[in-house]
Structure 1
Amino acid sequence: MVQPKVPSLDLSSVKREGPIITLGAHHDSLQGLPTGTASVPHGQASLHCMNDSTHGSLINISGLDWETMQNLSKAYFDCINLVFPVLDRQYFLSNTLSSLFNNGFGNDMQSTIAFLVFALGEVAIAGYGGLPVHAHNGRPSGIKGGSKEHPPGLDMFNEARKRMGFNLTECSLENVQIFALASIYYGTCFYPMDLWRMITLASLACQALITSSPDELSSPRADLVRRAFWHCSIMETCLNLELELPLTGLDKMETFVGLPDFGGSYSEDDHISNQESHFQEHFASQIVLRRLLVTFHDILNKSGPTSAFAPVPTSHESASPGSGVSPNTIRQLALQLDQWRGMLPAPLRWEEDSPGAFPNTDPAAYSETLYSPGGPPMSPMIPMIRTSTNSSATPPLMFTTDLDAPPIRYPYALDIQVALLRSRYYYTKYLIHRPFIYKALHAPEFMTNDDAVGVAECLKASLKWPVAMSPTCRHKRLVPCLFFFSQNFLGILILLHLSTTVPILIGIRASLCGERFDMDARETVGLYVDWLRDLKSVDSAARWHWELAKVIYGLDE
């Protein structure tokens, strides 16, 4: 149904090469990150700015003064480590940082981790406050700082890369952390293939650590080991379920490892950031959602690799072999997902039909410092939120579809954490109900009213994922696994196009999706199109997705 609009598209090759396309590996010109000194455009100098512009020399490590090291570390821990909590802030600041400043950098793992922290700290600062890499019709890009060839933090990352080989086979927690941090950095630079390779190494290193030193799970660092384990597991699951990339076997250790409780050394800064952003509860909720997603995916595909997309039976509650899952099974999965949402901690909850709302509608749930326009910033790169003083006004939304309005900026990466949790929830709901879409397209004559309701649920679950809304889409470098969302946004754009051209979908959309659906669908198309257009200049996979979306919707560059 889409093929006539894209006659050059070879659907068999898409099925065969999907992961290659999504990882951007289909471009012969694909290059790795440069190993030399970054040539930073005028006005986009890195925070430390220690290069000798006359001689083009590499960064002078000894020029890393104490203030710079502290600022970069704070930027990392106030942003990146809240989304990926793999390091201990208290230990790093009290031990690692002071030791390296006093004794200098070597080829050891602590030096490597420090340079990765500094690199990601630069990414955090640039990701919020750097210059946009381009603009479209006056709208600044959501990709800020540096360029595809010379991303923020490259000099620091290259210093880490020089040392990584010396610690390649170390069986330690630091080894896991190094690979995990490297994968995160590659993700911020739009190198998904490198992200995948690094997270695979992190997972294998984590398995080696737990297998060879099981007593680590009862040591003072046990919680850090668990946090690193679940970070790797969540990332692996994303890559496996979406792209069918192989698992390393880490998932088989889940029961043995157990869940993190953030019971390590006390950090007042982490306590404050958790009070404001609830990052610990976000991480725990992501772990539970990941478990549900794996279970749902296995059930939907239990009858074979295509059963989740096979026609849903019209009678009998159990499906015959190879015919797909039953409507009752899908209802049960949807109920489990709704129970997960209902059991979220109160500060994380939101109304189902309002993905852009604040987690809690009670203004008293948020501290004055978080919302006061006159207070000092909670993080060096993130100013405060401005709110209306009109008490009778409609409660403000946390996320907006107005991409031209100045974006609100939240401390402690709060919007990223909230957007990820909600977007992954809607993705899971969308995945559960996709079999109904398949039936509507391939066997419309057998559709029942329950099937039509399932189609409507799938359509509604595809709308306005918060990661594509402002302010989160205005700092895309800091959004994990961009390729995951880009691929799904293209699929949703195709689905929404079909819902305006296929008679049975048109009828369901008009009768079962609600009065707001048309307006929400238009806003969704605008959000997802802007997402792909914004990324196409720096992301090979997004470029391919954009070419399809452009033809389907008749868009200009």
Structure 2
Amino acid sequence: MATSMAPTENGTGHEPTRKRLRTSHACDVCRARKIRCDGNNPCASCAASENDCSYGSEANSRGKSDLILEGVLRVEKVLQELRANMMSPTAMDGAYSSQLLVSPMTVASTGRGSFSGSQTDIRRLPRLRTPPSEPNNASYLENAVLDSMHTSTTESVLQWPHFDAFPSLREDYVSIFDLEQSRLPFLTRGTPVCPYASPEDVDAILDAFGHAVNFWYPTLSRDQLHRARTAVVTTWGFEENDNDAEGCLALLTMALGCASQVVSGLVSGGGAALSDDERKRRAARRAMGDMYFDRVLKKLHVVHTDVSPTAAHCLFFVALYFAFLRRPLQAWEYINAAAAKCLLLLSYPPRRGSDEDLERIRRIFWSCYILESDYLAELSGLPQSGIARIESSIPLPGAYHTHISPQEEEQSSLYFLACISMRRLLNRVHQLLYARTTGASLDNTRFPYVVAELDHQLEEWRDVLPAAFAFSVGPPSFPSRSGTSPQSSASPPSQQPTVSEHGGFLRQRYLTCRSVIYRPYLMWALSGAGGVGYGDGLDGPDTWICSLSMAAAMLVLLAACRVPALRSLIGPEVLGAGAHLRELLEDWRQVCGEPSSPSVDQSVRVIGEADGFIRQVYELEGPFPALRK
């Protein structure tokens, strides 16, 4: 991994200005907790808290990758202890609250990217206690497994009794699995051929692949990308020699590069409508990508029968292209196939395999983990591949040369780490709060403590993000086709919630996680016993997952708007959310072409109806009197 750039002291570099770390006369504990130290041994603070007082640690000079890795490990350690407490006999006997909540002072608070060597004080955390009836449970508790049949899917939210007042939301609703299973079979061309592409076209397509797919899931090295380019550009004899895993990988790289060009700029376009010429250009790229993909499908037996890192790579890329085509069941099938190949190769590493091959398999493993968890979050009954059961034993991504630019390579690796850590946290949120039989959301005496700790871990995740992915959490403005929001003009650049498109996706993940964490409070308020975070987003090639996630967010907003105490906490931006989401999804549907996904179409309908009901609530009951008709 490339060496990270050091922050500047005067704030003129790429990193924001940071306060100089003061290490003189401060013990390690006070420095970690960022409190005043009197310099004695032991100091007054450590004596009062009965901590070991020691001096000598220096300011942390490690790179951003080391800092974010340390943050991931600290968050994981506390979450493991949290999970252990939930399943311990003490917790089950009702003495839950006294051991569950880990004080914020236990985990030293840190600023963005400035860990100063702080670590969790394990002596002050409850020890892991395995229930006697589950002697092998300790290893299981270390894993961020998304339990089957959890209650946080979009379809579960739609079944809340609070939507009985809106029968049209359910009248025409069909199970997502039934919709996708009843689709026409996926068809390929009878005699697929390789489309011709000039060297300049190949370079543009592979460049789009590198900035999009290989940034989100950095699994293809520079050497592999160069070999793929050589195979495609040297068309003489390629069609005869592409009948192997390397040839299939080259074809899939081109297919995904075309897909990247099809969907590029749809999120950051500011709501501007695409011209007819631009739509035709994207349609041509979609057709070219399909031709490459069709040729691969005719040769998939080569990949299935091969046992190599390249074969696993091909299966993963097939899953990604099916995700781009909005074919979730097919995408899930090949995610499982790629995961199975990864498990085999990690259990029996090839004797002649290189360190690069091992790192590639690990990165494919983590990519499959993210995608499989995303699909299980919406179709919880899908059989799992088993990779989540061993994820705590697989090293996180390490050094791997994926991009020509060292800065882009570093940012891609950090982004990948941030996505892995967030997906693990999301899995634990689902596991701790919404598991059907043990979820804390079912017990209003337990969930406040679980929610408080999960929120603390979420904020720690945000604190260690690099400056390139920093974001604010204030409400966004939703631009219309004219470029302005329905309520006010667009925010100036200095007030935009993100500094990059990738930071925008991490912000959306953050808000989604926050919404899921605090959803028990909304359910509590709806039940009459008692804010809600909101926000979701659109990024990457998988419109299917994004559409369902957005539909769930709109349903949660609709439920919250019906509670006066919550309605007063939601700003007027909510009135622009539905139209904004529909525009994004409509653009995506149009550029991706036919056949459309019935579950995406259904999600758009749910978003539209929820938006209409939200407007009715505010127009009739306020608190925005100026918006009443």
Normalising by structure 1, report the TM-score: 0.67
How far is 1:68 from its partner? 3.8
Q: Are residues 267 and 525 of structure 1, via their aligned partners in 2, closer, same or farther at CA, if it must alter by over 3 Å?
A: closer
Q: How many residues align?
A: 426
Match of 2:565 among 507, 516, 520: 507
Matches within 5 A, 1:193-212: 193-212=329-348
Rounded to whole Å, the distance in 2 between the matches of 1:539 and 1:301 is: 28
CA contact (8 A) 2:458 2:514 kept: yes
Q: Does 1:421 align with 2:506?
A: yes
CA contact (8 A) 1:310 1:439 kept: no
Q: Find the counterpart in structure 2 of residue 31 from structure 1.
A: 185
Gaps of 5+ in 1: 38-57, 131-135, 314-318, 320-325, 358-392, 401-409, 448-455, 473-478
Rounded to whole Å, the distance in 2 between the matches of 1:152 and 1:167 is: 22
Q: Output one character per residue of 1:65-110: Cα deviation in whole Å (capped at 9) or x when no partner.
A: 54443333222223221112121123330x3433562752330111
Q: Does 1:524 align with 2:577?
A: yes
What is the letter of the counterpart of residue 31 of structure 1? Answer: P
What is the letter of the counterpart of residue 582 of structure 2? Answer: V
Q: Find the counterpart in structure 2 of residue 246 from structure 1.
A: 383
Q: Does 1:257 align with 2:411?
A: no
How far is 1:300 from its partner? 1.0
Q: Does 1:271 align with 2:369?
A: no
Q: Does 1:540 align with 2:598?
A: yes
Question: Secondary structure of the equivalent of 1:242?
Answer: coil
Q: Are residues 525 and 167 of structure 1, via their aligned partners in 2, closer, same or farther at CA, if it must alter by over 3 Å?
A: closer
Q: Does 1:341 align with 2:399?
A: no
Match of 2:306 among 170, 177, 181: 170
Question: Secondary structure of the equivalent of 2:299?
Answer: helix
CA contact (8 A) 1:310 1:438 kept: no
How far is 1:549 from its partner? 3.6
What is the letter of the counterpart of residue 128 of structure 1? Answer: S
How far is 1:154 from its partner? 0.7
Q: Does 1:491 align with 2:628?
A: no
How far is 1:466 from its partner? 4.6
CA contact (8 A) 2:579 2:608 kept: no
Q: Does 1:156 align with 2:292?
A: yes
Rounded to whole Å, the distance in 2 between the matches of 1:279 and 1:156 is: 26
Matches within 5 A, 1:26-65: 28-36=182-190, 59=193, 63-65=196-198
Q: Are residues 149 and 113 of structure 1, via their aligned partners in 2, closer, same or farther at CA, if it must alter by over 3 Å?
A: closer
Rounded to whole Å, the distance in 2 between the matches of 1:180 and 1:89 is: 18
Question: Secondary structure of the equivalent of 1:153?
Answer: helix
How far is 1:336 from its partner? 0.8
Rounded to whole Å, the distance in 1 between the matches of 2:403 and 2:282 is: 33
Matches within 5 A, 1:129-148: none
What is the letter of the counterpart of residue 485 of structure 1? Answer: C
CA contact (8 A) 1:183 1:196 kept: yes
What RMSD, in angstroms, separates the aligned Cα atoms of the two structures? Answer: 3.6
Q: Are residues 528 and 60 of structure 1, via their aligned partners in 2, closer, same or farther at CA, if it must alter by over 3 Å?
A: closer
How far is 1:541 from its partner? 0.6
How far is 1:246 from its partner? 2.4
Q: Find the counterpart in structure 1 of residue 366 from structure 2.
A: 230
Q: Output one character per residue of 1:407-429: Cα deviation in whole Å (capped at 9) or x when no partner.
A: xxx9xxx62x3232221111111
Rounded to whole Å, the distance in 1 between the matches of 2:286 and 2:209 is: 19
Rounded to whole Å, the distance in 1 between the matches of 2:379 and 2:194 is: 41
Q: Are residues 274 and 86 of structure 1, via their aligned partners in 2, closer, same or farther at CA, if it must alter by over 3 Å?
A: closer
Rounded to whole Å, the distance in 1 between the matches of 2:557 and 2:370 is: 29
Rounded to whole Å, the distance in 1 between the matches of 2:612 and 2:572 is: 19
What is the letter of the counterpart of residue 493 of structure 2? Answer: P
Q: Output one character per residue of 1:225-259: Cα deviation in whole Å (capped at 9) or x when no partner.
A: 21111101111111123321222111233233201
CA contact (8 A) 1:119 1:154 kept: yes
CA contact (8 A) 1:532 1:545 kept: no
Q: Output one character per residue of 1:38-87: Cα deviation in whole Å (capped at 9) or x when no partner.
A: xxxxxxxxxxxxxxxxxxxx5356x4554443333222223221112121
Match of 1:462 among 497, 516, 534: 534
Q: Are residues 545 and 308 of structure 1, via their aligned partners in 2, closer, same or farther at CA, if it must alter by over 3 Å?
A: farther
Rounded to whole Å, the distance in 1 between the matches of 2:356 and 2:306 is: 20
Rounded to whole Å, the distance in 2 between the matches of 1:85 and 1:137 is: 30
Q: Find the counterpart in structure 1 of residue 517 from structure 2.
A: 432
Q: Find the counterpart in structure 2 of residue 49 from structure 1.
A: none
Q: Find the counterpart in structure 2 of residue 280 from structure 1.
A: 413
What is the letter of the counterpart of residue 419 of structure 1? Answer: G
How far is 1:350 from its partner? 1.9
How far is 1:435 from its partner? 1.0
CA contact (8 A) 2:231 2:247 kept: no
Match of 1:98 among 227, 230, 235: 230
Q: Find the counterpart in structure 2 of residue 331 from structure 1.
A: 452
Give % identity: 20
Q: Find the counterpart in structure 1 of residue 177 from structure 2.
A: 20
Rounded to whole Å, the distance in 1 between the matches of 2:469 and 2:200 is: 35
Larger Rg: 2
Q: Are residues 230 and 143 of structure 1, via their aligned partners in 2, closer, same or farther at CA, if it must alter by over 3 Å?
A: farther
Q: Are residues 197 and 144 of structure 1, via their aligned partners in 2, closer, same or farther at CA, if it must alter by over 3 Å?
A: farther
Q: Are residues 153 and 429 of structure 1, via their aligned partners in 2, closer, same or farther at CA, if it must alter by over 3 Å?
A: same
Rounded to whole Å, the distance in 2 between the matches of 1:518 and 1:9 is: 27
Q: Output one character per residue of 1:281-310: Cα deviation in whole Å (capped at 9) or x when no partner.
A: 1001111112212222221135717x4553
Q: Find the counterpart in structure 1 of residue 207 from structure 2.
A: 74
Q: Are residues 356 and 177 of structure 1, via their aligned partners in 2, closer, same or farther at CA, if it must alter by over 3 Å?
A: farther
Q: Are residues 552 and 524 of structure 1, via their aligned partners in 2, closer, same or farther at CA, if it must alter by over 3 Å?
A: closer
CA contact (8 A) 1:97 1:114 kept: yes
What is the letter of the counterpart of residue 558 of structure 2? Answer: H
Q: Are residues 240 and 308 of structure 1, via their aligned partners in 2, closer, same or farther at CA, if it must alter by over 3 Å?
A: farther
Rounded to whole Å, the distance in 1 between the matches of 2:365 and 2:198 is: 33
Gaps of 5+ in 2: 1-161, 479-490, 591-595, 614-629
Question: Secondary structure of the equivalent of 1:182?
Answer: helix
Q: Find the counterpart in structure 1 of residue 471 from structure 2.
A: 350
How far is 1:215 from its partner? 6.1
Q: Does 1:116 align with 2:252?
A: yes
Q: Find the counterpart in structure 2 of residue 362 from structure 1.
A: none
Tell me which moved more, 240-249 or 284-293: 240-249
Rounded to whole Å, the distance in 1 between the matches of 2:463 and 2:305 is: 44
Rounded to whole Å, the distance in 1 between the matches of 2:450 and 2:265 is: 47
How far is 1:140 from its partner? 6.9
CA contact (8 A) 1:356 1:397 kept: no
